[in-house]
Each structure stands twice: as structure tokens, then as C-alpha cells.
Structure 1
């Protein structure tokens, strides 16, 4: 008898006597070449509701959660990634659900916040920084070293016309038994219009959160052939912590009445 025929007889016997195995997880013995095929697509309706909503709109997220919740939902807030995921069929330990009907909110950074993040993390030529000031003038306030406000057009012009001054001071000391010599180079960047010392950038970082003021300290690097400017974000770490906390509070205010919330992330195993 051919091997294929023998295998067919064995598979037929297994199918005829297939029974649920005595295991904790439901299992059944089937022929090796058999496949499990879902017939759901041939039904008039799906067997159960499932799907994922992904949105960056806090208002749409909260209204969707309120409409779909049945009192057994659970949400997880990740302040580091500015996301919130609500499961509608997660269930509990006694009656676990599939966890495949959910909604995820990921707050979207505004264009202004993306721009200030890029500006604070880069070195700039004179033209680049002056263009940045002109492009985002509605969001900016320039201050001099004394904290007085400076006209933005004047600040941009001062950055375009930086002069590097270099001075060298030498000192010689001669004694009966010794001598010493020291030299000091002093390099200073100046502008006839007065360079701005600080830029205050007013921005709504994420859609749905409140406005923030970001302080950018202006520094001039004089080591190369041309001056290079850098913006140092003062208090960046603290601001990001504040944004994460505000996000948690806003989410709790918007959907806290519809679902239980937990700080963290949840992954189905």
C-alpha cells in the first residue's frame, strides 16, 4: 500500500475519533495537513464586534469612548508617549475578553512645537536663525541681556551682522632666579544693533493642551571661520514632565467618567 494511502487512512481515523483533549487550554487532535477555516465571512453579520480606532483628536476620542463603553472598559495612559488606549472587550480574570476592540489616542505635535524642538537641537548659521525669527515672529519675544524686550526685526538684523573681535593679552614676569610668561586670548561676538540674549517661544505643544512659553538662550560659538549660533532650551526636562502630567489630567477629565484609567501600557500576551 502506498504511503499516501496509508496517511489518508490515518487522517480519516483521527477525524472520526477526534475528541477534545484533557488539557487546561482547549485543544483537539486533527490530521497534520488539516487547516482551520473561519466561516465568519459567509455569515450575514460578524460573530462579534471588533476593530481599532486611531485618532489624534481628543474630542473625537472622548466622544467615541463615551458612546462605546458598557461599564466594563479599561484605559491605559502613557504620559511619555502622550497616548491613551481604551479596551472595550478586555474583560477580567474571570471572563477574559479578546481585547481586539479598542481605541487609541495619540496627541499630535503642533507645527510650532516641531519647529522649536528642531531649532533647540541644532546649530544655526546667522541666516538660518534670523530666518527662524522672522518665520515664527507671532510666537516669539526677544529679550536682551538685561531682560528688556527687543524688537524682533532689530534682533534678526543684529544676528545677521555679528562682528567677531579678538584681543590678546601677554604678561611677562622676570626675577633673579625665575621667569614666567602667560598669554590670554579674548574673543567676543558683538553686533551694532545688540544681540538678543533670550528668545521666548509661545506655543501650544500638542493639540488639546494649553499654551506654554519655552525659553531659548542664545549662544554664539566663535571657534570657526564664521560665527555659529545655538539655542539652548532652558528647563526642557521639566516642561516635558509637566506636559505628561497635563495630558494625564486632561484624559482623566474627558473620559474618566466613561472608563477606568491606569497609568502605563498594556499588551495582550
Structure 2
């Protein structure tokens, strides 16, 4: 029992010694702090003051305008903005500091662009297999953003295009060739399946919308396909060269931020930063 008490007493003396040593070191610190005996941990007293010792925080937004306006208010020497165009996001660090005078890098503004409802609907339909009813209803819902084209490249009234989607019929035909000779016989059977419509059939579509808040209008070409393998036609819309369009949007996003920061002290970089 006495050994346990002795060990406890030794621990108390050690903690008090550490606390005294830390108190002396903390007395010259810019931010007031105190060392408590329990595990000799340092506890800040900032919350007991009228105000914070220094400004820090994280501002998050999906608006390019508000992001740039906020960054400009706190622009100055050492302020840096890191742009991740692939993720349509950016982070500005206001107290990054320099190599000689590094900052805490905990006062930031974060921008993450949000997809608009039309663009999200377009991505949802891209490559999906739809029934006539489902695709026709989707075309009706987003008709104000759509332009339909015939096989000759002429603009087709969107209502007629939707009617053509609703009235698709599948026609199947077969033909047989039979050939006899003295040494044998040969027979071949050919079958064909064709999708037709009582209305004018659309061959392609174009979808025009603002993909992300803050960016400009963009036109997306859509390839229209009719799959005839089953009892009912399966309809597919696919965005032509989606990856290329994504690269163009990323470039537009990067250039827009760089342009907004040309007249203020906010140095821009392409990439990510972790403190």
C-alpha cells in the first residue's frame, strides 16, 4: 500500500515541476495560456477574453461571386488561392505566411461549385436505357433546354420529336435464299429489324444549359440510339465527347478565378494545399 502512495506522491511532484516549468515558458507567449497539473496539458484561456486572440475560420460557398468578393476583402501579402479545376473547387488560405514567417494556415475560404438541376438531369440520363414512355417524359420535362435534329441535320420541332419517340414501331422482315446443284444445296436466311415511327424520327439532340453556377451556357450534343433486340424498343441518349466538355468547363473555371484575382494580392496556383 505504501508503495502505491509513494508512486502517487512522486507523480504529483513531477507534475507540479512540469507545470512550474511550463508556466515560466508560457509567461512570454503572445497568447495567454496555462498548464494544468492533470497530464500536464496546456489549456488556452482565449475563450475567457472579450475577443479572440486572432481571426481564423473557414468560409464555404458554392458561389463564385461570393467567394471572390470574400477573398478580395482579406487579400494581402502572402494570400494564396489553390484551384482544383478537375473537382471544380478552390481554396484560398489567408494566413499561409512565408518560409521565414509561416502562418497557421487555418483561416480559409472554400469554393465548391454546384451542378445546376438541368446539368444533373443530363448526367443522369446519359447512357441510361429507357423505355419510350420514360424518355418521352424526360424530353418533355426538359424541352426548354433541347433542340432536336433530323438525320439531315435540320432542326426539328421538339414536340414532333417527342411524338416520334412515343410512336416508334418495330418491324421485322426475313428473306431466304435456296440454291441446288448436282453436288449439294445451300440455303441462307437473313433477318432484319428496323425501328420506324409514324412521326418524323429525331436523329440527334442538343442540350443547352449552364452546367455549374457561375459558368456560362454550354451546348452538349446528344447521340440518340434505338435498341431493337427485345419485344419493345430501348432508347438511349449519350453525350458526345463528355470528357472534352468537362475539360473545357475546368478551363473556364480556372480562367474565371484567375481573372477575378488579377487586381488584388491573391496569388493563384493550380493544385491542392494541405497544411
TM-score, normalising length: structure 2: 0.88
Q: Distance in 2 between matches of 1:65 and 1:16?
A: 43
| Structure 2: segments with no counterpart, 5+ residues | 26-34
Report the 3-state secondary structure (helix = DSSP H, G, I; strand = E; otherwise coil) of the residue aligned with 1:8: helix
Match of 2:272 in 1: 265
Matches within 5 A, 1:199-218: 199-218=205-224
C-alpha distance after superposition, 1:47-92 (max 9, x if no partner): 1110111111111111111111122200111111111111100112
User: What's the secondary structure of 1:85's corresponding residue?
Assistant: strand
Q: Deviations over 1:97-123 (max 9, x none)?
A: 111111111122111111111111311
Q: Distance in 1 between matches of 2:44 and 2:21?
A: 22
User: 2:159 maps to which residue?
Assistant: 153
Is structure 2 residue 187 aligned with structure 1 residue 181? yes
Give the distance between the partners of 1:104 and 1:165, measured in 2 at CA.
56
Alignment of 1:4 onto 2:5 = no
> Measured at CA, do residues 85 and 16 of structure 1 come closer, stay the same or move farther in structure 2, by a change above 3 Å?
closer
SS in 2 for 1:37: strand
1:101 aligns with 2:107: yes
- Secondary structure of the residue aligned to 2:205 is strand
Aligned to 2:32: none
Structure 1 residues 196, 40: closer, same or farther in 2, change over 3 A?
A: same
What is the match of residue 176 of structure 2?
Answer: 170
TM-score, scaled relative to structure 1:
0.90
What CA deviation, in whole Å up to 9, does each residue of 1:150-173 have, x standing for no partner? 111111111111100111222333
Aligned to 1:171, what secondary structure does the other structure show? strand
Which structure has the highest helix share of the two? 2
Q: Rate the CA distance shift 1:31–1:45 in 2: closer, same or farther, 3 A.
A: closer
